Amino acid sequence: MNKLRTKIEDPTLSPYDRIVLLFSVLRSPEGCKWDRQQTHQTLLPYLIEEAYEVVESIETKRYADLKEELGDLLTQVVFHAQLASERGEFTLDDVISQVVGKLVARHPHVFGETKDLDPRQVRDQWERIKTESGEKESVLAGLPRSMPALTMAFRMGEKAGGVGFDWKNAADVIAKVDEELAELKQEMESPEADRARLTEEIGDLLFATASLGRKLEIEPEVALRRALEKFRNRFDELEHRVRANGRLFGDYSLDELESIWQQIKLS
């Protein structure tokens, strides 16, 4: 057997030691040219892709695939830690030690004076600890600008709510959604309407809608993805029916297409 494979498959190694050793070997002169070529920056697309594959396996309830997808995501974490360790910056042990310490500090109701907090109180406590400890410069400092906008809207509202800046209930947010929709309609009807103001009003409406989802404990990103998947399935069926008789979309009136669409919704 190949000596490197024998080294990796040593039965005395723990799974943790094996995966750390694996990436050390892959990055070594005896390892893989592709792996040696990678940097934090070149690995970013794969990190994002693997994270989304984890999301998809959970959303589609393909839990048999989740083990594999989590493993793929873990390889990205280990890979980045290996790159850092080669430069003497930190190791995977350092990554784990730091996150364990952080999690203990953020659960004082478990590891300090025991308190029976509900999930919302735990989340709000978490946000306060991050700010008051000085870990984050500001309440919203930890939100990466590359985050999908709907997810950012959800998390931004959570963080602001964690320090007390929030609506009291979902009904209050519905009033805000109605207000933003009215402002959008007003701008659309204005003879001086322009794209910049319309863009701002659309953004305000989407932010308010994301906040409504948050108050109802429904993540807007998940809700929208489900709506898009539903639309995709229905539109695929619409296209199938349109083309069934050798016709094209242009051969149907909008009313005819809408009639087919309603039939699909009922099926």
Q: Which CATH number fits domain 3-105: 1.10.287.1080, 3.10.290.10, 2.60.40.420, 3.20.20.30?
A: 1.10.287.1080
Q: How far apart are CA 153 and CA 9, in angstroms?
A: 45
Instruction: Tell me the domain boundaries of the chain.
Output: 3-105, 116-222, 226-266
CB atoms within 10 A of CB 189: 8
Q: How far apart are CA 257 and CA 174, in angstroms?
A: 32
CB atoms within 10 A of CB 173: 22
Lowest-confidence pick of 4-8, 81-85, 262-266? 4-8
Polymer length of the chain: 267
Asked if residues 78 and 90 have their Cβ atoms less than 8 Å apart, the reply is no
Average pLDDT over residues 124-146: 80
Residue 45: pLDDT over 70: yes
Q: How far apart are CA 205 and CA 216, in angstroms?
A: 17
Residue 1: pLDDT over 70: no
**pLDDT tens digits, residue range 74-109?**
999 999 999 999 999 999 999 999 999 999 999 999
**Domain 3-105 identical in fold to domain 116-222:** yes
**pTM for the whole structure:** 0.68
Indicate the helix (H) or strand (E) that contains 26.
helix 15-26
Q: How far apart are CA 234 and CA 261, in angstroms?
A: 8
Which of 12-16, 52-56, 120-124, 162-166 reaches the highest mean pLDDT?
12-16
Rg (CA), the chain: 25
Alpha helix segments (H runs only) across 190-266: 195-215, 220-243, 254-266
Q: So what's the architecture of 116-222 in CATH?
A: Orthogonal Bundle (1.10)
Average pLDDT, the chain: 92
Q: Provide long-range contacts, Cβ within 8 A and 24+ apart, for 96-105.
A: 102/135, 105/129, 105/133
What pLDDT score does 259 carry?
95
Residue 133: pLDDT over 80: no
Q: How far apart are CA 155 and CA 146, in angstroms?
A: 13
